[in-house]
């Protein structure tokens, strides 16, 4: 009898799970799996896209996408070729996979604005789910409009969509290489986007020269996004987190360019729960990571944040945390070769722990001057700040760790312990006037 009950309970649980999956109980939609990699071959009949770089293939490709959507899903396959389009390709349904052969399958838009590929509904993200772009090259044959604010261009644009995957894609030559969420909107308009194994670059495009006045990847709004194993080569911003976009995990991603670019990763807007881990961010001329004053609950961990040279503008910092930012954790990173501070924080509830800071404040060496605001780790104003277990060494900084009021705000409620600054300028300098503090057991 006991065995019968156990088997009966297991069968009941399995049936309930199946009912949930198939939408009898709950709202989880079934995901259609494509039969093969050539369900809808854009070069085959009835579509007959040329892929010769000259013929306008917009209608042929969009027809294949529409047929896949009408069938409930499928793979729209792009054999090797250069597919010229004159207007945006749109995916508005479920379970559609746009798949190519990698660099050999290139879609390029013959205009300076709009998106090459747009995934999403007009208003309801639940109407466009489980779509994917895989092993495709996305480009444009004319320069993107430089007025990125009013006439933006996009490589792949995802908005009002759920469960979108971009895998193994290379994007060239757009104001915003990959855009997720609705610009200027709030709430859960877009959710569950996954960007992996992809490149957003400024060289090798069909145009020869590329300009990124915006960002390689931008998150405007919505939630629950992941970037993993990507390579970004920006000329302005590598990754921009804006608006109320939140729940963002950026890991094992490299943001680097040997030429001039401005910011590596920017956390702006009012979003929260943003994680930057196991990344390489290098050579930005201003800040490698910039955390604006409206950001909260941002973590930067286990990353290399540096510069491959000592050049760049005199505003190059490793991590800048603006006043107003809160609940920020900077942990176990290696930060080096910055013109100014390795870490400069003016925020509240900031924890800086376990980091190695090496050869920062190189401005002093290059200019033979005394920078009065150049400590490897500098804390100005704010409250509830912990600086612990960091190792700081530099021949050029004023202090290894400097603690100050910022002129209008007193630095208060801070703990600075167990740091090794013995190989830095003047070690630790406590110039703050706050009285609720512990500064002890440092070298």
Q: Do residues 26 and 83 share a domain? A: no
pLDDT more than 90, % of the chain: 64
| Lowest-pLDDT choice from 75-84, 115-124, 306-315 | 306-315
Task: Give 31-64 pLDDT, tens digit per residue.
Answer: 434 434 458 999 999 999 999 999 999 999 999 9
Chain position carrying tokens 């931008």: 218
Q: What is the pTM of this model?
A: 0.87
Residues 54 and 134 grouped into a single domain = yes
Tokens of 334: 């290696």
Among the ranges given (207-216, 227-236, 335-344), the one the predictor scored with the smallest mean pLDDT: 207-216
Whether the per-residue pLDDT at 322 is higher than 60: the answer is yes
Higher pLDDT, 184 or 80: 80
Range with the lowest mean pLDDT among 18-32, 73-87, 108-122, 341-355? 18-32
> Terminal CA-to-CA distance of the chain, rounded, Å?
70
Could you tell me if 99 and 134 lie in one domain? yes
Number of folded domains in the chain?
A: 2
Give the residue, 9 or 190, on which the prediction is more confident: 190
Q: What is the pLDDT of residue 58?
A: 98
The residue written with tokens 């090797």 in the block is 80
3-state SS record for the chain: CHHHHHHHHHHHHHHHHHHHHCCCCCCCCCCCCCCCCCCEECCCCCCCCCCEEEEECHHHHHHHHHHHHHCCCEEEECCCEEEEECCCEEECCCCEEEECCCCCEEEEECCCCEEEEEECCCCCHHHCEEEEEECCEEEECCCCCCCCCCCCEEEEEECCCEEEEEECCEEECCCEEEEECCCCCCCCCCEEEEEECCEEECCCCCCCCCCCCCEEEEECCCEEEEEECCEECCCCEEEEECCCCEEEEEECCEEECCCCCCEEEEECCCCEEEEEECCEEECCCCEEEEECCCCEEEEEECCEEECCCCCCCCCCEEEEECCCCEEEEEECCEEECCCCCCEEECCEEEEEECCEEECCCCHHHHHCCCCCCCCCEEEECCEEEEEECCEEECCCCCCCEEEECCCCCCCEEEEEECCEEEECCCCEEECCCCCCEEEECCC
What's the pLDDT at 2?
Answer: 38
Is residue 276 pLDDT above 80, yes or no?
Answer: yes
- Residue range(s) defining the domain that contains residue 70: 37-440
pLDDT digits (tens, 9 = 90+) for 147-161: 888 888 999 999 999
Q: Say yes or no to pLDDT of 105 above 50.
A: yes
pLDDT tens column, 193-229:
999 999 987 655 454 445 556 899 999 999 999 999 9
Considering the domain architecture, whether residues 204 and 188 belong to the same structural domain is answered as yes
**pLDDT band for position 274 (50/70/90)?**
very high
Do residues 82 and 206 both lie within one domain?
Answer: yes
191: pLDDT strictly greater than 60: yes
Same-domain pairing of 312 and 220 = yes
Residues 133 and 99 grouped into a single domain: yes
Verify that 231 and 369 share a domain, yes or no. yes
The answer to whether residues 316 and 230 belong to one domain is yes
Q: Cα dihedral angle (146, 149, 150, 153), rounded to 10 degrees?
A: 60
pLDDT at 420 over 60: yes
* pLDDT winner (highest mean) among 5-9, 56-60, 173-177, 391-395: 56-60
Q: Does 396 have pLDDT greater than 90? A: no
Residues 19 and 120 in one domain: no
- CATH code of the domain containing 351: 2.160.20.10
Is the per-residue pLDDT at 12 higher than 60? no
- What pLDDT shows up at residue 23? 38
Specify whether 420 is located in the same domain as 334: yes
Band of pLDDT at residue 306, cut at 50, 70 and 90: confident
Domain match, 342 and 413 both: yes
Task: Band the pLDDT of 184: cuts 50, 70, 90.
Answer: confident
């Amino acid at each position: 009898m006991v065995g019968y009950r156990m088997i009966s309970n297991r069968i009941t649980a399995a049936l309930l799970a199946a009912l949930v999956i198939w939408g009898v109980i709950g709202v989880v939609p079934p995901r259609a799996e494509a039969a093969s990699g050539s369900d809808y071959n854009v070069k085959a009949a009835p579509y007959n896209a040329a892929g010769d770089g000259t013929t306008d293939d917009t209608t042929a490709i969009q027809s294949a996408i529409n047929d896949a959507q009408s069938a409930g899903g499928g793979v729209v396959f792009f054999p090797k070729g250069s597919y010229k389009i004159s207007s945006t390709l749109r995916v508005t349904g479920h379970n559609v996979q746009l798949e190519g052969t990698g660099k050999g399958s290139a879609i390029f838009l013959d205009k300076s604005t709009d998106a090459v590929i747009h995934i999403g509904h007009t208003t309801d993200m639940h109407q466009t789910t489980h779509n994917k772009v895989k092993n495709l090259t996305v480009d444009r044959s004319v320069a993107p409009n430089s007025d990125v604010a009013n006439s933006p261009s996009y490589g792949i644009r995802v908005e009002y969509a759920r469960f979108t995957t971009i895998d193994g894609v290379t994007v060239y030559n757009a104001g915003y290489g990959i855009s997720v969420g609705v610009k200027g909107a709030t709430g859960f308009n877009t959710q569950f986007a996954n960007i992996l194994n992809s490149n957003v670059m400024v060289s090798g495009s069909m145009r020869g020269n590329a300009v990124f006045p915006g960002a390689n990847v931008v998150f405007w709004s919505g939630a629950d996004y992941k970037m993993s194993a990507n390579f970004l080569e920006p000329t302005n911003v590598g990754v921009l987190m804006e608006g109320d976009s939140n729940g963002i995990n950026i890991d094992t991603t490299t943001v680097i360019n040997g030429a001039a670019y401005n910011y590596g990763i920017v956390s702006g807007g009012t979003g929260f729960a943003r994680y930057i881990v196991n990344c390489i961010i290098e050579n930005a001329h201003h800040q490698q990571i910039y955390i604006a004053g409206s950001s909260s609950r941002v973590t930067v961990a286990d990353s290399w944040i540096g510069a491959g040279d000592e050049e760049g503008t005199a505003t190059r910092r490793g991590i800048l945390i603006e006043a107003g930012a809160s609940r920020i954790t900077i942990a176990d990173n290696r930060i080096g070769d910055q013109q100014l501070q390795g870490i400069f924080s003016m925020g509240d509830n900031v924890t800086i722990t376990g980091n190695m800071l090496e050869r920062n404040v190189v401005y002093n060496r290059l200019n033979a001057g005394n920078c009065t605001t150049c400590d490897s780790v500098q804390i100005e104003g704010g409250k509830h700040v912990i600086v612990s277990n960091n190792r700081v060494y530099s021949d050029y900084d004023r202090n290894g760790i400097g603690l100050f009021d910022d002129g209008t705000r007193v630095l208060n409620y801070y703990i600075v312990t167990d740091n090794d600054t013995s190989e830095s300028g003047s070690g630790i300098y406590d110039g703050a006037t706050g009285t609720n503090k512990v500064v002890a057991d440092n070298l």
